[in-house]
Amino acid sequence: MRIVIAGGHGQIALRLERLLAARGYEVAGLIRNPEQGDDLREAGAEPVNCDLESATVEEVAAHLQGATAAVFAAGAGPGSGTERKVTVDRDAAVLFADAAERAGVRRHIVVSAMGADVAHEGDEVFDAYLRAKGAADDHVRGRPGLDWTILRPGQLTDDAGTGQVRLEASTGRGPVPREDVAAVIADLIETTATAGLTLELISGTTPVPVAVKDVAGN
């Protein structure tokens, strides 16, 4: 089973690649900087050079051919301005979803953001980020060819994962280690009964596999 991750060199993505490779998946990560390739190989993933800000739907779909699932974990990053919130956090997510649908890859996971809303008000860069993520999420929800799950983590930390989370439609705000976010994504990929759900994620007291099964109705 092959998993393709957009934003393959991101902090969540590298953790996810290690987890999926350990589970026996074939993992590919889309990166725009070839110099990041060794980091992906070390994580057990195949680096695929693809700049989502300039690629076409057809080009991205070619990288997704034969995949079992697609994960959008790309982001413009905290140091970027309003323009790249649009070109990466919105437009690249839209492009990746359209490409997955064209390639026939139904299982689709989006790493979004808590509070994402296309109607969010405000003039700060973070406000633009939440609008961009909200617009992208709305687009993914409208793709009939995708079995999507949208994951909205709380405040991301680099603390060691605990394996204990709170995963619900609405959790309230709180922190969550990136390691635990990756663990949840790995289980969501394998739990297709979560398709059609938008979920919030923070640290909690429920083991990751149990939390995923609970929201899946299992």
Q: What residues act catalytically?
A: 129
Amino acid at 24: G
CA-to-CA separations, 50 to 2, 5, 38, 87, 156, in angstroms, rounded: 17, 11, 16, 15, 26
Cα separation, 107 vs 92, in Å, equals 18
Across-strand partners of 199?
Answer: 151
Cα separation, 128 vs 108, in Å, equals 24
The separation between CA 209 and the C-alpha centre of its own chain, rounded to angstroms, equals 18
Q: Rounding to the nearest 10 degrees, give the CA dihedral for residues 193, 195, 197, 198.
A: 130
Helix 178-190 vs helix 208-215: crossing angle, to nearest 10: 50
Q: Rounding to the nearest 10 degrees, give the CA dihedral for residues 77, 79, 82, 88.
A: -20
Q: Pairing relation of β-strands 107-111 and 155-157?
A: unpaired
Q: Let me know the angle formed at the C-alpha of 115 by 106 and 92, rounded to the nearest 5 degrees.
A: 45
